[in-house]
Amino acid sequence: MRKLNVAIIGYGRSGCDIHGAFLRSPANDICTVVAVVENDPARAAVAREHFGCDTYRSYKDLFERSDLDFVVDASYSDLHYPITKDLLAHGLNVLCEKPLCKTPEMVQDLIDTAKANNVIFTIFHQYRFNDYYIKMHELLQQKVIGDIKLVRACQNSFSRRYDWQTLLYRDAGSMRNNAAHSIEQIMHLAGSDEMPKIQSKMDIWNSVGDAEDYLFCTLEYSDGVRYEMEVNPSDAFAQDAATFTIYGSRGTMRVYIDKIVYRYYLDEEVPVPVLQHKSIHHPDGSPAYCNNQLVWHEESLEFDEDIWSSFATCSNRFYHNWYDALVNGAELFIKPEHIKAQIAIFCEIERQNPLEVKFKKPDDVI
Ligand SMILES: NC(=O)c1ccc[n+]([C@@H]2O[C@H](COP(=O)([O-])OP(=O)(O)OC[C@H]3O[C@@H](n4cnc5c(N)ncnc54)[C@H](O)[C@@H]3O)[C@@H](O)[C@H]2O)c1
């Protein structure tokens, strides 16, 4: 199998611990890291140790090379758009971290730039490659809990963040950072890139920056299904919370990173309720409540995953799809047009919750 030459921009939590972790692992039979761009000399030294690759302080040095098959843009979120645009304009394929950019117009500009330069790009939304998500989607398609009425997605924690992911000038905050993954999954569950009806609340609860750390939103699609998304930084019981809770006409499903549990009844095992206009009573005449005589079934599935192994699984699957797209022209797992629709949702939530920019980038920060 031909290996592709890759450069990584930014060797931090994403560049080193997610992309780098996959690229260093035995599961990587498809790419060779030939360059890392990292402003921090200590992190650049780690990258040289990991890959024996060239390192640079500026991504513009990559334009001197002619051996790159693609570039991973794992820089700060606000730098994704200008750097990715420049890379595409220089004829380089790009795998860009989320969030791609601020507005749908910027996404369109990147789509046009890629087209004009005969290259492709994708966005690293890898969460749909999780085992729990693949199985949950399959079960819901089989209607094991009937018709879906309400889906609750939760990314709670007890969190008091103080890093750049709390700063508006960096395009940070819990929506574009955390909820972005769940909203992408929700769009896939809804099977639509339409603009849903949105009600939302964003706020700053525990973080010291000016970007939101609390988000609650309801997305209602034209088929009537409602999706709720919560990122709550004051949940000290978050370890018990399901990643998804799905309410259906015949049951309920709880989905965690390492297991799915669902409880349901079967139509053929229970009587069809007949509407009673008068008060209902037991055979002895005493007042009664509705008794559906439901026969409950419960099933569960377990996955051998924790947060880090799930990152490894998803990266492996994502990179193999990306490889297939670059080498064999396969369909992209994450298409830029889909992310354009997602970013339109972000903009609507921000329109409903204007936040005040309180901090300016210091001169010694890139
Ligand atoms: N898909 C995911 O699951 C996932 C997970 C974590 C982070 N991310 C995304 O990855 C991006 C990076 O986040 P992080 O948590 O890794 O940040 P980080 O602060 O841990 O690391 C960023 C690194 O990039 C370097 N850097 C940034 N811009 C640079 C530039 N122009 N030139 C040279 N070096 C540069 C910094 O020096 C730093 O070492 C963010 O956009 C974030 O949203 C995605």
pLDDT, one tens digit per residue, over 71-86 is 999 999 999 999 999 9
pLDDT above 90 for 275: yes
pLDDT at 183: 98
Any ligand 1 atom below 6 A from CB of 77? yes
Give the three-state DSSP class for 14: coil
CA of residue 171 to ligand 1 center, whole Å: 12
**Which residues lie closer than 8 Å to 115 by C-beta, 6 or more apart?**
none
DSSP H helices, 122-223, are: 131-141, 180-190
CA of residue 98 to ligand 1 center, whole Å: 10
CA of residue 38 to ligand 1 center, whole Å: 10
Q: Which fold has domain 4-128+311-334?
A: Rossmann fold (3.40.50)
Ligand 1 atom showing the smallest separation from residue 16 Cα: 16
- 129-305 CATH choice from 3.40.190.10, 3.30.360.10, 3.40.50.1360, 3.40.50.720: 3.30.360.10
Strands laid side by side in the 94-97 sheet: 54-56, 31-37, 4-9, 70-73, 94-97, 121-124
Ligand 1 atom showing the smallest separation from residue 80 Cα: 41
- Mean confidence (pLDDT) of the chain: 98
Strands laid side by side in the 297-302 sheet: 197-203, 214-220, 226-231, 148-154, 244-248, 251-255, 259-264, 297-302
Compute the distance between CA of residue 326 and CA of residue 121 in angstroms, rounded to an integer.
Answer: 9
Instruction: Enumerate the domain spans of the chain.
Output: 4-128+311-334, 129-305
Compute the distance between CA of residue 194 and CA of residue 187 in angstroms, rounded to an integer.
Answer: 9
Q: Whose CA is nearest to atom 15 of ligand 1?
A: 13
Q: In the Cβ-directed half-sphere of 226, how many Cα atoms lie within 13 Å?
A: 10
Taking CA atoms, 33 is separated from 21, 28, 71, in Å, by: 12, 11, 10
Q: Whose CA is nearest to atom 11 of ligand 1?
A: 74
Which band of pLDDT confidence, cut at 50, 70 and 90, is reported for residue 1?
confident
Any ligand 1 atom below 6 A from CB of 315? no
CA of residue 44 to ligand 1 center, whole Å: 13
Residue 112, burial from CB neighbour count under 10 angstroms (0-12, 13-18, 19+): exposed
Residue 212, burial from CB neighbour count under 10 angstroms (0-12, 13-18, 19+): buried
Global model pTM greater than 0.85: yes
Which band of pLDDT confidence, cut at 50, 70 and 90, is reported for residue 224?
very high
Q: In testing the pocket of ligand 1, which one of 57, 73, 75, 96 has its CB within 8 Å of the most ligand atoms?
A: 75
CA of residue 85 to ligand 1 center, whole Å: 17
Compute the distance between CA of residue 72 and CA of residue 9 in angstroms, rounded to an integer.
Answer: 6
- The one-character DSSP state at 39 is S
Which band of pLDDT confidence, cut at 50, 70 and 90, is reported for residue 339?
very high
Residue environment code for 46-79, b if the CB has 16+ CB neighbours within 10 A, otherwise e: bbeebbebbbbeebeebeeeeebbbbbbbbbbbb
Any ligand 1 atom below 6 A from CB of 217? no
pLDDT 10s digits, 157-214: 999 999 999 999 999 999 999 999 999 999 999 999 999 999 999 999 999 999 999 9
